[in-house]
Amino acid sequence: MVLEEAGPNAKLILRTNHEVRSPSHGEVCIRIDACAVAFRDILDRTGAFPFIKRNAVLGHEFAGTVKAVGENTNLQVGERVVSLHWDQTEAWPSPLTPNGPVNSFIGLTVDGGYAEYCTVTEGTLVRVPNGWSAIQAAPVMSTFGTVWQGAKVRARLNPEDTVLVTGCSGGVGSSALQICKAIGCKTVIAVTSSQNKVGYLKKLGADEIIITDDQNPFHKNSKVLSLGGCDVAIECVGGPTFLQSLRCLKPEGRLVLVGNVSNSTVPLPLGLCILKSLSVVGSDSIFSDELIQLFRFLSEENLRPNIDHILPLEKANEAHALLENKCVSGRIVLQISPDNWVD
């Protein structure tokens, strides 16, 4: 699926003659077995990132099998891998350098996983342990991974914390809820804009659920006030809910920002941040070594991403429409090859 120009989902065009490069020095050619569809794909498609390459192949959350390797690589043909957002040997912790975005930014500056094959640098990939299907593995980096890096590694999430999660029925939000429950956080408050998602969030273990809209801001909700606020807010929505999440925090609270679905900006109340000694932590990905540890943790806790829809590659446009219309609980995954691993 090629994005010929920014615009509606009809701009994603299925091509049957798309060229696949042979891997050169330090590169690997991957057969894509599954590729998750995230809201960042909507931002990519609609032109949120002006540096996106022409005729880009989107898809930064893929799982696949090594089919060919170039010189000076450690991966071997047949190994199972998932993608990182970019090659971390090129830059970390951000894909943005003083000279611009990295050359390995999947789905933006290099082709991604909405395809049967893609060729990327080896540093863009992490091996997947046995016991995982390709469909389960594809979303891990961007759902559980961004939350783990931001909340657990950088914001020191721990069992003593009361945590609030916005956009909790989405792929990242539901993963955040699962991680918080697995760690044993004291109380986890799930925020959603839909009454229809309450049963889903209860099943995942939410201790409290707040249904919010413009007339009912959640930072004034009695469930938040009765707890005296939250130690950690995991912000999966961004602009529309950021200030409310900030106002939910106790003194020395930490806001972990892992999503911005509207690609918007917000006025930051500096006085509030100063007087309450608040921290804002952004997280766009997960360090490769941490992803290896995360797979181990998820396997031990028997946690997997929640997959709502499995669609073929040619229905990527439909996947985008489902996301834009808020018809998804968890993640959508494109199944691209019949090999769905496990072992």
Average pLDDT over residues 141-147: 97
Other beta carbons within 10 Å of 79 = 16
Q: Return the beta strands (E) in the chain as ranges.
A: 2-3, 12-13, 27-37, 61-69, 80-83, 96-97, 100-101, 117-121, 125-127, 162-165, 187-192, 208-211, 230-235, 249-257, 279-282, 307-312, 331-335
Instruction: Give dist(CA 193, CA 280) in Å, integer.
Output: 23
Return the structure tokens found at 160: 């003593």
pTM above 0.75, yes or no: yes
Cβ neighbours for 321, distance < 8 A, ≥ 6 positions apart = 9
Average pLDDT over residues 39-68: 95
Question: 273-293 pLDDT, tens per residue?
Answer: 999 999 999 999 999 999 999
Residue appearing with tokens 């933006």: 108
Task: For residue 38, name the pLDDT band (cuts at 50, 70, 90).
Answer: very high
The pLDDT score that the predictor gives to residue 198 is: 94
pLDDT at 134 over 90: yes
pLDDT at 295 over 90: yes
Task: For residue 148, name the pLDDT band (cuts at 50, 70, 90).
Answer: very high
Out of 91-100, 161-170, 260-269, least confident range: 260-269
Instruction: Give dist(CA 2, CA 62) in Å, integer.
Output: 16
The pLDDT score that the predictor gives to residue 341 is: 87
Return the structure tokens found at 34: 């599954």
pLDDT at 62 over 90: yes
Task: For residue 19, name the pLDDT band (cuts at 50, 70, 90).
Answer: confident
Counting residues of the chain whose pLDDT is more than 70, the rounded percentage is 100
Strands 279-282 and 249-257 come out as: parallel
The sign of the CA dihedral 157, 162, 166, 170 is positive
- Cβ pair 306, 298 in contact under 8 A: no
Out of 8-22, 160-174, 233-247, least confident range: 8-22
- Cβ pair 53, 110 in contact under 8 A: yes
Residue appearing with tokens 């615009």: 7
Average pLDDT over residues 319-323: 96
pLDDT at 103 over 90: yes
User: What are the distances in angstroms from CA 33 to CA 62, 75, 237?
Assistant: 8, 17, 29
The pLDDT score that the predictor gives to residue 336 is: 97
The pLDDT score that the predictor gives to residue 139 is: 97
Cβ neighbours for 263, distance < 8 A, ≥ 6 positions apart = 43, 48, 238, 239
The pLDDT score that the predictor gives to residue 213 is: 84
For residue 44, give the 3-state DSSP assignment: helix
When the pLDDT of each residue in the chain is averaged and rounded to a whole number, the result is 95
Among 135, 115, 128, 131, smallest CA distance to 29 is for 115
Task: For residue 214, name the pLDDT band (cuts at 50, 70, 90).
Answer: confident
